[in-house]
Structure 1
Amino acid sequence: MVIHSNMKKWLIIIVVLAAGGAGYFYWNKNSKARPAGQSPARPTTAIVESRSIQFVLTSAGDIGPADQVSVRPEINGRISLLPVDIGDQVKKGELLFALDDQDLQTDRASRLTDIEGAKLTVEKTHRNYERNQRLSEAKLISQEVFDDGKTDYDLAQNALERSQKALRVVDDQLSKTRIVAPFDCTVLTRPISIGQAVSGSGGFNSGTEVMTIANLKEMIVNAHVNQADVTRMKMGQTVDIEVEAVPGLKFKGTVQRIAPQATIKNNIKGFAAQIFLKNIDPRVRPGMTANLTIPLISADNVLAVPLAAVFTEQGDRYVYVKKEDNFEVRPIQIGVADFQYAEIVDGLASGETVSLVRPSDVPEPNPGKKKKKKADDAKVKAAQNTTDKTTNTASSGKRAVL
């Protein structure tokens, strides 16, 4: 048993050594086939060719409903009907909840009785007033009796008007016991149950929130746009939108509103913007994150070169154009640029080759301009030193006199 175990160990060692030897042989063969220090080379030149360039602004925001309402009763009461729950879709005019109106109905019946009594009083006083008016014309009663009858008639009319106004108040309160949907909506939250007492919106803490509803057919994205980019945005711009929670879902939106004042969010100063969504997919829900792509400026089928080929010297832009075995400096004018390519307005032709690196054997452009700038800088510095010395001398002399 011991001999068999030793043979097994030696067999494993031989296999490991053989595998290591094969790996070394393969590595050594590839190393000889490729020169030392050689690695996959990056391109150093590019061809001037036509392409479409689009500069876009990217941002992110939270999706939310365009119309969202916190539903609260206007009067105090107790929930008697609550036919909807979270997620239910409700049509405009359908009942959201109702308050117990038993006390109000009793009050209304009492007001109706008061009105009937007030009408009878008005009729009686009106008869007395008309009779006293005839007697007064016949000089059969005194003026005081006539005036008292007229006053009773006026007071009866006032009492009838008060009763009618009280009835209208009760009817108005009764109408507020039934709350219906103001638009086609979906119930987002509903923290209240049947039988629970609620306060009206005119009371403490603006009333009790019974539910929140929203129109999920019209939604917006609330985004925070950097202050450096907001000046390029304008109302009505089309926005490409992707939703992180729904891979592959893409649709369009429109810039609906841009805040006039900057705010700070995540330590970045920017402006709040609202993007109105079009053709909303039913999978999109409030609270999801949307990635926005806003095209700001574009150029179709224009001559373009990579940004790496464009060099800048003291505000002048130029490229190195290949001519046979060397490169020459050529000034250019660029137009629209994105993060990879720049449009060539003037200075290059289609098919020319430009360098992506600065050639070592080509002199820098505008050497005279650079020397002149250095000389001007030197003159300015010398003049500044002279002024400083004069100022110091004058100040020293003044102190000596004092």
Structure 2
Amino acid sequence: MSALGTPRPSPLPAPPPGAPTVSAPEPQEPRSRKWIVWLVLILVGGLVVWQAAVKPRMEAQAERASAVSAIKAAKVFAGTLARTVRVSGPTSSQEYTSITAPIMRGPEAGRELTLLYLVDSGKIVKKGELIAQIDAKTLEDHIDDIGDDIERAEADVRKRRAEQAIETENLTQTIRVAQAELDKAILEEKASETRTVIDRELLKLAVEEAQARLNQTKADVAHKLQAHKSELRILEITKERHVRHRDRHKTDLVKFKMYSPMDGLAVVQMTWRGGEYGVIRQGDNVTPGMLFLKVVNPAKMQVEGQVNQSESSLFRIGQKARIRLDAFPELNLAGKVHSIGALAAGGWRQSYYIRNVPVRITFTEVHNKVIPDLSAAADVTITEEENVKQLALAAVRREEGKDVVYVRKGDQFERREVKLGLSNNTHAAVLSGLEVGEEVALEKPAIQMAALR
């Protein structure tokens, strides 16, 4: 039976005995059957050859392509390349006014002051607006008490002046009596012709005695009047002292209401309260001279940073910068170097010999989210080149004293020497050896492919 389904031939009848034997003709296979057999054989042979030789080669190529594609690469591109130095520090305002608790001029200047009113931190205030007020009830009562002392002092002056007027009149009467006695003695002396020599001497002595008594009385009265003036002056000085005391407290009372000296943003300061560091608020006690509030101009903000003294020579006033804020990472604002410190300063927690130079970087873009006391970082542009070919520094290898890169060529990487120019922390300018658009490996291909194997 044929595998191709050829119909089976029917059996021939047996020939009669004695008859000549005739051989039957052999059946011929169709030509189409041979062609199909050869086709099957060819297909099977091709499959065997593909399985034995072609498939392993294709799998090796696919594995190699996968290994090459797994190596991280970056393209060479053209653009602006800048070398920058980062400066970190808090933000602050270039224009601000510090509001401190008043230092009282009165004798009771050392006592604590209680904030009766304090503007909310972050509020925009206008010039002349009330921003803080200190409780003045105790001081007002004290001023009233001093007023009573002044009235008593004035009454003492009036009383003593009246008493001195009476004493002065008595002293004047004493002088008049002494003058009358002197006049009497002089008249009696003029009538001494009829008297004896002894009487005349007695009358003369009486005149001299009356004259001396008058002079002494006048001197005593003068001294007494001077004493009166001194007593009055003492009482007047006491009164003036009370008046000055009151006037000083009245001046202090005016300072208990504080008004904004400029338009700006109110920034309440921090303090220790019960072992915790927090914002000063209404009802807290402040000491005279204590800073508790600032009014800043939010349109003129800056970053107060420091740079190592070894990098200070790279900075120049006017250099451009890009500023970022930790609190608002989406912001990227423009700025410039405003000032550079003339002297280096040491830090509190650093060794004495480690010195940093203060640098101030101002915001040239105004944003309402920029407020004082935010942590910021400014990338100051030291050098900048435009339209230069550049590649990632991670792709550069230092081999045998030369800079080399591995350039992708199909499914392979080609080692190539390059010449580099300006560089920053992430990229470097390509002077020769590469063209824009070429891909370079960020990892050494031999190491990467060996790891994949």
Normalised by the length of structure 1, the TM-score is 0.53
1:199–1:264 Cα change, 3 Å: closer
Q: Does 1:297 align with 2:387?
A: no
Counterpart in 1 of 2:266? Answer: 186
**Following the alignment from structure 2 to structure 1, what is the Cα–Cα distance between the partners of residues 167 and 383?**
86
Counterpart in 2 of 1:215? Answer: 296
Counterpart in 1 of 2:89? Answer: 61
> How much does 1:172 deviate?
2.0
1:59–1:292 contact (8 Å) kept in structure 2: yes
Give a deviation string over 1:13-43, Cα, whole Å, max 9, x none.
xxxxxxxxxxxxxx99984664736615899
Counterpart in 2 of 1:103? Answer: 141
1:54–1:46 Cα change, 3 Å: closer
Report the AA paired with residue 226 of structure 2. Answer: K
Q: What RMSD over aligned residues (CA atoms) do the two structures have, in Å? A: 5.6
Q: Does 1:164 align with 2:240?
A: yes
Give a deviation string over 1:81-101, Cα, whole Å, max 9, x none.
426344444445525113213
Stretch moving more, 145-154 or 82-91: 82-91
1:226–1:270 contact (8 Å) kept in structure 2: yes
> How much does 1:56 deviate?
1.2
Matched residue SS, 2:64 = coil
The runs of 5 or more residues in structure 1 that have no matched partner are 1-26, 321-328, 358-402
**Following the alignment from structure 2 to structure 1, what is the Cα–Cα distance between the partners of residues 154 and 318?**
62
Counterpart in 2 of 1:24? Answer: none
> How much does 1:174 deviate?
3.2
2:344–2:355 contact (8 Å) kept in structure 1: no
Give a deviation string over 1:199-232, Cα, whole Å, max 9, x none.
743xxxx87x8x4444262544333434442342
Normalised by the length of structure 2, the TM-score is 0.48
Q: Does 1:260 align with 2:344?
A: yes
Counterpart in 1 of 2:11? Answer: none
1:64–1:152 Cα change, 3 Å: same
1:90–1:186 contact (8 Å) kept in structure 2: yes
2:302–2:360 contact (8 Å) kept in structure 1: yes
Q: Does 1:152 align with 2:228?
A: yes
Stretch moving more, 88-97 or 102-111: 88-97
2:102–2:252 contact (8 Å) kept in structure 1: yes
Counterpart in 2 of 1:249? Answer: 331
Matched residue SS, 1:39 = helix
* Percent identity over paired residues: 13
**Following the alignment from structure 2 to structure 1, what is the Cα–Cα distance between the partners of residues 57 and 398?**
43
> How much does 1:167 deviate?
2.0
**Following the alignment from structure 1 to structure 2, what is the Cα–Cα distance between the partners of residues 260 and 113?**
61
Matched residue SS, 1:245 = coil
1:30–1:261 Cα change, 3 Å: farther
1:166–1:245 Cα change, 3 Å: same
> How much does 1:122 deviate?
9.2
> How much does 1:180 deviate?
0.6
Query: How many residues are paired up?
Result: 302
Structure with higher Rg: it is: 2
2:115–2:286 contact (8 Å) kept in structure 1: no
1:122–1:156 contact (8 Å) kept in structure 2: yes
1:116–1:289 Cα change, 3 Å: same
**Following the alignment from structure 2 to structure 1, what is the Cα–Cα distance between the partners of residues 350 and 333?**
27
Stretch moving more, 223-232 or 114-123: 114-123
Give a deviation string over 1:302-344, Cα, whole Å, max 9, x none.
8989988898999xx9999xxxxxxxx99x996x553433597
**Following the alignment from structure 1 to structure 2, what is the Cα–Cα distance between the partners of residues 62 and 142?**
82
| Aligned partner (choices 303, 311, 315) of residue 229 of structure 1 | 311
Higher RCO (CA < 8 A, seq sep 6+): 2
1:263–1:172 Cα change, 3 Å: same
**Following the alignment from structure 2 to structure 1, what is the Cα–Cα distance between the partners of residues 364 and 227?**
69
